[in-house]
Amino acid sequence: MTLDHRWKDGFPKIGIRPTIDGRRRGVRESLEDQTMNLAKTVAELLSSELRYPNGEPVECVIADTCIGGVAEAAAAADKFKKAGVGLSVTVTPCWCYGTETMDTDPSLPKAVWGFNGTGRPGAVYLAAVLSAHAQKGLPAFGIYGKDVQDEGDSVIPDDVKEKLLRFAKAGLTVATMRGKSYLSMGSVSMGIAGSIVDERFFQEYLGMRNEYIDMTEFVRRIDEEIYDKEEFAKALAWTKENCKEGADNNPEANATSREQKDKDWETVVKMAIIARDLMIGNPKLAGLGFGEEAGGHNALVSGFQGQRQWTDHFPNGDFMEAILNSSFDWNGIRSPFMVATENDSLNGVNMLFGYLLTNTAQIFADVRTYWSPDAVKRVTGHDLDGKAAGGLLHLINSGAATLDGTGEQQLDGQPAMKPFWEISSEEAQKCLDATSWRPASLEYFRGGGYSSDFLTRGGMPMTMSRLNLVKGLGPVLQIAEGYSVDLPDEVHQTLDDRTDPTWPTTWFAPNLTGEGAFTSVYSVMDHWGANHGAISYGHIGADLLTLASMLRIPVSMHNVPGDQIFRPRTWGMFGTESTESADFRACANFGPLYK
């Protein structure tokens, strides 16, 4: 069975709008080829550099003609609507009539590239049309190359290319979320505010629906065998072969029997299949007489409450979450699912942001402990150095992190987390081999189950992010770029044993800037807004900043270099001295994208 049916409705396309000076009798005619060629060049760049979550190249749709006036602008808008365009890029080498040629669709993220050439005033049009966008309340991203190019130059400069790609990745993320669902499996876990699903936020900021099931739906589907039994047999056999069971840390008097452990394995494998079917449906169920269940909830992301009503009685959801969040399972290597532990919907959103921006699996973790150099020295006798010299954050949760987070995949010979189509079967196996499945601590999980246990390899660039809701303010994003860090085995073990050693650990050292929340590692921990964080491979803070501005979500802390910040041009109208403060004012002024 293929899981590609989750993308059966396709993906949003990028609309390319070549705008032109509408004056005839020589002016427009002289610019037709150059303008359309510029559009084709941008389309080729985006299609060659970007991919959808299923691995296929991103599709671009170019307007049928250059846009010299409102009639052609309307024709392009009509074509884009029919073609499923989710964002637009306007390109021009010349002056055009701003309000007559601009994209006025309020829901489409939009950018304008005004060619920096002396032959025609593309920069003048760029300034004029961005002014029109600001005046009409339609924020647009302005792109203007630093260096003058010769007329007819078909090369896209590196600085322009960087902004085009950053805009496109964020815009595709916005468009992909639109109309999809967050599936809440259960309700609020242990009083965690992030698992209080805020429908207004999802609907007005992300354009997403909210779907809900009670956790008893898992019991019903298990008891009534509403799952593919052939797939279950295949999945259980694969699990027994590839998911090695680790040591049981429970006291022998309280340890679960071998018979019960085997039953728990069967239950957690069924839970994984059922959770996937709940999210995206399963055509196979229709043939088994379960037509309603076959449809699923069109969920791009979900969360499982688990604690405590489920886990006090049934095996925990760690295996289900970890396997779904990974890029491989019994059906082979495939795109990961996004499943938030403890139904923390806000952390689930951050996982979704990171996934759609990078096409890679995401780590869900507690931001559990700040270890200062002095504390590490006192406890282990070890002096932290290198990237860890200022201290470490211990990222660890109950075994639901993606197995990609082991760092056993490689990119240019270094540990990495990659899109599924770049992962080899050998790399997937290494991730599995680096993970043990420890019988759950019965102190936490009275119903038993299994938690993944691995140690993330050091040296990976990573970005940790968190979305918070503040009454009276709304959503606020936090971003911290940094690196995973290796510790000597005995040092890791000593520190790990002070918490629950049956769970996966990532040692994270954020990059320090000496400013704001990034004056020290302690300050990063002290400013973090919640108990969870979503961790993505790579330094994607700049992409997150661009995405947040499209969604009108301000960013309260980040360590992204200033020259990488790319927001709509009108953000500068709210102040240039403090871009962080201006961001808050701009987001408040324009309000949510889908208000």
β-pair partners for 113: 91, 143
Confidence of residue 255 (pLDDT cuts 50, 70, 90): confident
**The pLDDT of residue 458:** 98
Q: Which residues contact 200 (CB under 8 A, 6 or more apart)?
A: none
Tell me the mean pLDDT in the region 444-468. Answer: 96
Region of 147 on the Ramachandran plot (φ > 0 left; ψ -120 to 50 alpha; else beta): beta
Tell me the mean pLDDT in the region 522-536. Answer: 98
| Binding-site residues from annotation for Mn(2+) | 342, 366, 532
**What are the DSSP calls for 449-482, one per residue?**
-EEEE-BPPS--EEEEEEEEEETTTEEEEEEEEE
- The pLDDT tens digits for 117-140 are 767 777 899 999 999 999 999 999
**The pLDDT of residue 117:** 77
- φ, ψ of residue 352 to 5 degrees: the values are -65, -45
**Cα distance between residue 332 and residue 535, in whole Å:** 24
User: Residue 189: pLDDT above 90?
Assistant: yes
**The pLDDT of residue 168:** 98
| Structure tokens belonging to residue 275 | 């959770």
Q: What's the helix, strand, coil split of the chain in %, to 5? A: 40, 20, 40
**3 state SS of 389:** coil
User: Residue 8: pLDDT above 90?
Assistant: no
User: Residue 110: pLDDT above 70?
Assistant: yes
- The pLDDT tens digits for 166-181 are 999 999 999 999 999 9
Confidence of residue 275 (pLDDT cuts 50, 70, 90): very high
**Cα distance between residue 533 and residue 537, in whole Å:** 13
Helix (H) or strand (E) holding 332: strand 332-333
Cβ density class 337-352: b for 16+ within 10 Å, e for less: bbbbbbbbbbbbbbbb
- The pLDDT tens digits for 346-383 are 999 999 999 999 999 999 999 999 999 999 999 999 99
β-pair partners for 363: 535
Q: Any idea what DSSP says for residue 256? A: P
Q: Which residue has the higher pLDDT, 221 or 6?
A: 221
Max Cα-Cα span within the chain: 93
**The pLDDT of residue 154:** 79
Q: How many CB atoms lie within 10 A of CB 99?
A: 15
**Cα distance between residue 174 and residue 105, in whole Å:** 14
**The pLDDT of residue 305:** 98
CB 302 within 8 A of CB 183: yes
| Structure tokens belonging to residue 454 | 């691995």
CA distances in angstroms from 75 to 51, 65, 72, 82, 103, listed in the order given: 27, 9, 5, 11, 11
User: Residue 1: pLDDT above 80?
Assistant: no
* pTM listed for this prediction: 0.97
**Cα distance between residue 175 and residue 139, in whole Å:** 16
Percent of the chain whose predicted confidence (pLDDT) is above 90: 92
Catalytically active residues are 342, 366
**The pLDDT of residue 468:** 98
- The pLDDT tens digits for 416-450 are 999 999 999 999 999 999 999 999 988 889 999 99
Confidence of residue 293 (pLDDT cuts 50, 70, 90): very high
- The pLDDT tens digits for 536-570 are 999 999 999 999 999 999 999 999 999 999 999 99
Confidence of residue 2 (pLDDT cuts 50, 70, 90): very low
Measured CA angle at 439 (ends 437, 440), to 5 deg = 110
Query: Mean pLDDT, the chain, as a whole number?
Result: 96
**The pLDDT of residue 4:** 64
